[in-house]
Amino acid sequence: MLAGAVALYAGQAGLAASIWVAGTAVVLAILVVDIVVSLRRGEFGLDLIAALAMAGALLFGEHLAGIIVALMFTGGEALEGFAQRRARREMTALLSRMPRTAARYAQGGLQEVALAELVPGDRVLVRRGEVVPVDGTVGAGVAVLDESALTGEALPVRRRVGEPVMSGVTNAGDAFDLRAESAAADSTYAGIIRLVEAAQEAKAPMARLADRFALLFLALTLAIAGGAWAWSGEAVRALAVIVVATPCPLILAVPVAIISGISRCAKRGVIVKGGGALERLAGVRTVLLDKTGTVTDGRARLIDMRVRDDLDPTEFLRLAASLDQGSPHVVARALVAAARERGLALDTPTDVREVAGSGVAGRVGEREVLVGGWDFVSAQAASSPFSREIGAWIRREGTVAVVVAVDGTIAGALLLADQVRPEAGTVLRHLRDAGVRRIVLVTGDRADLAAGVAAFLGVDDVRSEMKPQDKTMAVEAERANGPVLMVGDGVNDAPALAAADIGVAMGARGAAASSEAADVVILVDRLDRLVSAMRIARRSRAIALQSVYAGMGLSLLGMVAAAFGYLTPVEGALLQEAIDVAVILNALRALAGPIRILRRREAGEEDVPALEAEHRTLGDVIDDIRATAARLPHLPGPDVRQELARLDGVLHERLLPHEERDERVYAGLRRRSGARDALAGMSRTHMEIQRQVHNLASLREALPDDGPGEEQRYEIERLLHGLEAITRLHFAQEDEIYRSLDADGE
């Protein structure tokens, strides 16, 4: 077009026309071939109108209009290519980051081997800045990992010896040893890449739907063009109508918006397998949630402990966890994790003897320790009144009890359970806000356990003791209420995930079968990412529809104007060019999130992840408050003051500074939101915790030298139980608030 313009400016009108004809003819020939190929595949699109416009321009001598249409068509293709490359940037980055080799220990040194040569059991050195090649566990050193490429978490995480590491994450710290637990082809990263490739190759149904309307739009275009020609007797008006109707780049706006939404989901740690899945996600009306590993954490966690009066709870947990380091049992790993969360330094056990499925015995330092079930420990420990108390105390539904004996006598017990995710309540509220009318909890667990979780969450229905085929039948039954979304993580959930209109797999720790069967895979172990994905899906679909309605509407107005002679073919071509570019640029808005007044990072609360982590490390402080209350009735009078002074020091050194940091975060949220009273109730809880700690100090100072009387003991015990309850509840509330901040940042 530019060459023809130069020739025209130089006075060579004939040369300009020839150049424009040649350019238009080349594009037209290529387009005709593409149309023929598409028709043979049974596909019919709006490209035919572009071909008619170019052919008509050549036929009627509108050479400039023809080259403008050709430029519009090829420019739209180029713009779509740019948009899709940008939209897929995060997903293709996964492919480009895939390592090709790994440094494996062999023959006393390191050998650089191809990734395919790694087998489970190999020891691999992961250097600073390298991508972890296979799934495994930390063999030596402390791994500082950047998991943002997979999970979307911005801050590095630490993994200690024995803790799992996903392939595909980047080593952000010093080199560490990795013990491979899978081959490269079976690793997390390889599975993610397969999911990404499937997502990139899929085509959105909205795009196919637009193609099916192409015949109607073509008929309308030809009717208006024919009517204009017949009414005016001017063929050029018919050409102008056809030129304005050329919507080839316009229809590209739909896949651009959908692919942009898929890309944004990938940023949030959610892989969506194609545009069709994203569209169905936007229209969900019923949600079925599996319980274990989906609504709950899916792992045993320490929830309570009972310790003999003469033992410190922290030392009790340290002894048990130190011995359990020698056991691969899932409960043993949970105890070790609980101790490490509390920052306890574990000893290396010696003389470890394990009875599979029952318990483990050994030495920790100078002490003989037994850890296991009641039958295992009680059979080897001396009976006492305290042991009989423990035997009754551990009998709680929905928990796993671990009994610990030290030096031949029972020292206490620990209770572990699978807890509801901190963000579960927020997720259910946001699902209802997003238009979900019905939420059902489905699980294979017993009815009493399922009912307890359902009552806590407030779901519409609960179905328990379900087999895989029962979950599939539940999906089919719920279809009467609208499109069904199923969320699960286990192999038993795979049939229901495949049967649902949209299946969502918790892929961070879930079974591979569920990820393969699902339409959406959440890579980070966070249920609130489901809400983020639904919001992104709804926004992307809305933007795609905006582009379609606006573009088609403007094109129709332009066609009418051209029919009445208000637009020449050249002017119509320029107008359509502007329309097409505008709607494609509008579709690109799906790449970015909506403008929000408050965002997690913009709110100035960079300390939020650290504060969440502190909640876990402060678990021993809450345990200490409870244990002190339990010991108080049995302590000699003079020892009470000393015990309370010790606890007071712990509270002032660890708990109160944490609450002060929380309050600074609240202040930042208030400033950014413009709501001066935001989180006022939470700040009031901070004040109550501080008041309780102050009252404890006041009670201690008022004690007589010979210790408290019966009434004073009761008052102190009551205060300690209240402080423990309010602190534990407050931490749970803050965990939910902090996670909701992250979920809001789509």
In angstroms, what CA-CA distances link 600 with 442, 535, 723? Answer: 33, 17, 30
Q: In terms of Cα–Cα distance, which of 481, 485, 444, 488 is closest to 466? A: 444
Collapsing DSSP to helix, strand or coil, 289 comes out as strand
Q: How many CA atoms lie within 13 A of 121 on its CB side?
A: 2
d(CA 630, CA 634): 8
Contact 50, 248 (CB under 8 A): yes
Q: Count of CB atoms within 10 A of residue 691's CB?
A: 11
d(CA 361, CA 405): 9
Q: Which amino acid is at 743?
A: A
Q: In terms of Cα–Cα distance, which of 719, 679, 674 is closest to 699? A: 719
Residue labelled with tokens 């490739």: 197
Compute the 3-state secondary structure of the chain and give helix, strand, coil in percent, each to the nearest 5. Answer: 60, 15, 25
- The angle, 0 to 180 degrees and rounded to 10, between the axes of the packed helices 205-212 and 253-267 is 170
Collapsing DSSP to helix, strand or coil, 404 comes out as strand
- The angle, 0 to 180 degrees and rounded to 10, between the axes of the packed helices 13-40 and 47-59 is 150
**Kindly report the CA angle at 570 between 568 and 572, in degrees rounded to 5?**
65
The answer to whether residue 662 is catalytic is: no
> Which one of the listed residues 47, 290, 418, 525 is annotated catalytic?
290
- The three-state DSSP-derived secondary structure of 53-78 is HHHHHHHCCCHHHHHHHHHHHHHHHH
- Is 634 exposed, middle or buried, given 0-12, 13-18 or 19+ CB atoms closer than 10 A? exposed
Q: Which amino acid is at 713?
A: R
Query: For residue 717, what are its two tokens?
Result: 């015990």
Residue labelled with tokens 């105890």: 335
d(CA 221, CA 559): 8
Q: Provide the greatest CA pair distance for the chain.
A: 116
DSSP H helix total and E strand total for the chain: 30, 22
d(CA 540, CA 36): 32
Q: Which amino acid is at 133?
A: P
d(CA 637, CA 696): 16
Annotate 547-584 with b (16+ C-beta within 10 A) or e (fewer): bbebbbebbbebbebbbeeebbbbbbbbbbbebbbbbb
Residue labelled with tokens 């993580």: 489
**Strand bridging mode 350-355 / 484-488:** unpaired
d(CA 710, CA 484): 60
Q: In terms of Cα–Cα distance, which of 168, 178, 161 is closest to 103? A: 178
Active-site residue set: 290
